[in-house]
């Protein structure tokens, strides 16, 4: 009987990882689709050539603002009412928003709907990673989160392929995939660790607990800052490839869609390598350090490519993606740093605050561009963000194989669960 029970449990775990992976696949497809269709969609709704970059920054900032707000909302819901409710609610919201995006006719409506989509997109990854880290064994959870990230990141590759054809169909496809995923989610089970505290009186989903204790706040802030360079690479260096190409003297107009596709192929492979490296070295921190230093090399190679060709751009996009392929490791670190009663809040807000950090990064980058030009500003921002990231990494404790079966009290003490 015990063997049958163990087999059933193994199947449940496999199904959970698969569902979380597919959820992140659809999530990332919808998250990145605007970067793919930015120029074509804005042209079709009547934005003049000179205003495309400005309108694009406005819309992506609105999407990122939605991610910031949604990260807080879904994180709290996940800790108060369960991780499963977040998986269903978030995907319903962003699927409806993406369908609506296919029918926009002006920039403001476009931006508002991307804001709503951003709120929905914020819940998927954090809830999935929280479920996987709390369900798999201490030694194997790194593999589980790596699988989630690798499968999920190919959603960006599909977005790049679909987005090349027709931007309206691309949005409709994203919404349709979301509804199909809802059907697959039926029967997904809740985290055992969450069930242990579900009826207890311990404070759950208290976002402000992260700010009422200095040590806890610093740890939370560092979890966010270690991921900042990744979204700078994707959100600016690759997304604005056409503009960078002009300043670098590109032989042809560089395609942001192609760049994003190969960047995410690189990120997917990088996530596999990072996951394996962290398992072999038993160190998440060492893995992060290796990849962050490699990302500096890749960005220098990109920004120093005078007369860049589309072929060279493809390889550089892949290399940059590979070098920032620490997303799964980064999200896992955040989930492992805090107790069960605020783990969903942290795991959901941290990646979304990193995505949302693209807003101030955009503003800072634009300020540098006005004075130094795009290429020099690209160097400046990358060095600043990497320095901040490395400092933050040095302040975090190693979390590999850490026992996650505990809760946090109001005084930041770790209390074992009964």
Question: What is the DSSP track for 233-294?
Answer: IIIIIITTHHHHHHHHT-SSPPPHHHHHHHHHHHHHHHHHHHHHHHHHHT-HHHHHHHHHHH
Distance CA 228, CA 140 (A): 26
Predicted confidence at residue 417, as pLDDT, reads 46
Predicted confidence at residue 306, as pLDDT, reads 93
Has residue 201 been placed in a domain?
no
Predicted confidence at residue 190, as pLDDT, reads 58
Q: For 60-82, what is each residue's pLDDT tens digit? A: 889 988 988 988 888 888 888 87
Has residue 336 been placed in a domain?
yes
Two tokens, residue 97: 């928003």
Distance CA 1, CA 6 (A): 9
Q: For 303-354, what is each residue's pLDDT tens digit? A: 999 999 999 999 999 999 999 988 888 888 888 888 878 888 888 888 888 8
Query: Can you give the residue range of the structural domain that contains 260?
Result: 2-189+207-396+407-413
Q: For 247-279, what is each residue's pLDDT tens digit? A: 999 999 898 888 988 998 898 889 889 988 988
Has residue 356 been placed in a domain?
yes
Confidence of residue 289 (pLDDT cuts 50, 70, 90): very high
Predicted confidence at residue 228, as pLDDT, reads 87
Q: Which is nearest to 233 in space by CA: 65, 378, 40? A: 378
Predicted confidence at residue 15, as pLDDT, reads 77
Has residue 195 been placed in a domain?
no
Predicted confidence at residue 416, as pLDDT, reads 45
Predicted confidence at residue 346, as pLDDT, reads 86
Predicted confidence at residue 368, as pLDDT, reads 95
Predicted confidence at residue 138, as pLDDT, reads 73
Per-residue pLDDT at 195 exceeds 80: no
Entry field: residues in the chain? 418
Span of 34-38, 44-48, 413-417 with lowest mean pLDDT: 413-417
Has residue 113 been placed in a domain?
yes
Has residue 284 been placed in a domain?
yes
User: Mean pLDDT across the stretch 224-244?
Assistant: 90
Number of domain units in the chain: 1
Instruction: Determine phi and psi for 201, rounding to 5 degrees.
Output: -90, 5
Has residue 62 been placed in a domain?
yes
Predicted confidence at residue 31, as pLDDT, reads 81
**Residue 317, domain CATH:** 1.20.1250.20
């Amino acid at each position: 009987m015990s063997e049958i029970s163990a087999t059933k449990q193994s199947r449940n775990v496999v199904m959970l990882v698969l569902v979380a992976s597919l959820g992140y696949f659809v999530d990332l497809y919808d998250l990145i689709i605007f970067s793919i269709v930015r120029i074509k969609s804005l042209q079709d709704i009547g934005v003049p050539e000179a205003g495309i970059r400005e309108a694009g920054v406005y819309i992506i900032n609105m999407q990122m603002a939605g991610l910031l707000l949604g990260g807080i909302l879904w994180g709290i819901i996940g800790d108060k009412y369960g991780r499963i409710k977040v998986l269903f609610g978030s995907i319903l919201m962003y699927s409806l928003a993406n369908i609506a995006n296919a029918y926009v006719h002006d920039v403001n409506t476009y931006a508002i709907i991307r804001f709503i989509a951003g709120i929905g997109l914020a819940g998927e990854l954090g809830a999935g990673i929280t479920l996987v880290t709390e369900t798999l064994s201490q030694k194997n959870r790194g593999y589980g989160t790596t699988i989630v990230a690798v499968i999920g990141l190919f959603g960006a590759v599909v977005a790049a392929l679909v987005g090349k054809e027709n931007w309206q169909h691309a949005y409709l496809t994203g919404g349709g995939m979301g509804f199909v995923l809802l059907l697959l989610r039926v029967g997904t089970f809740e985290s055992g660790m969450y069930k242990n505290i579900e009826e207890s009186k311990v404070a759950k989903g208290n976002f402000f607990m992260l700010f009422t204790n200095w040590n806890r706040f610093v740890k939370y802030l560092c979890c966010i800052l270690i991921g900042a360079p990744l979204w700078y690479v994707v959100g600016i260096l690759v997304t604005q490839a056409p503009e960078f190409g002009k300043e670098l003297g590109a032989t042809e107009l560089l395609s942001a869609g192609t760049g994003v596709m190969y960047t995410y192929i690189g990120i997917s492979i990088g996530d596999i390598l990072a996951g394996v490296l962290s398992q072999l070295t038993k160190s998440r921190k060492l893995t992060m350090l290796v990849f962050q230093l490699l990302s500096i090399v890749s960005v220098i190679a990109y920004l120093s490519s005078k007369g860049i060709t589309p072929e060279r751009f493809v390889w550089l996009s892949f290399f940059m993606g590979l070098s920032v392929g620490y997303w799964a490791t980064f999200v896992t670190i955040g989930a492992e740093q805090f107790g069960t009663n605020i783990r969903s809040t942290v795991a959901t807000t941290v990646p979304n605050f990193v995505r949302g950090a693209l807003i101030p990064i955009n503003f800072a980058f634009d300020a540098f561009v006005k004075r130094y030009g795009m290429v020099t500003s690209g160097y400046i921002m990358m060095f600043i963000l990497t320095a901040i990231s490395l400092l933050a990494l040095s302040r975090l404790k190693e979390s590999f194989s850490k026992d996650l079966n505990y809760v946090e009290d109001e005084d930041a003490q770790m209390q074992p669960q009964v």
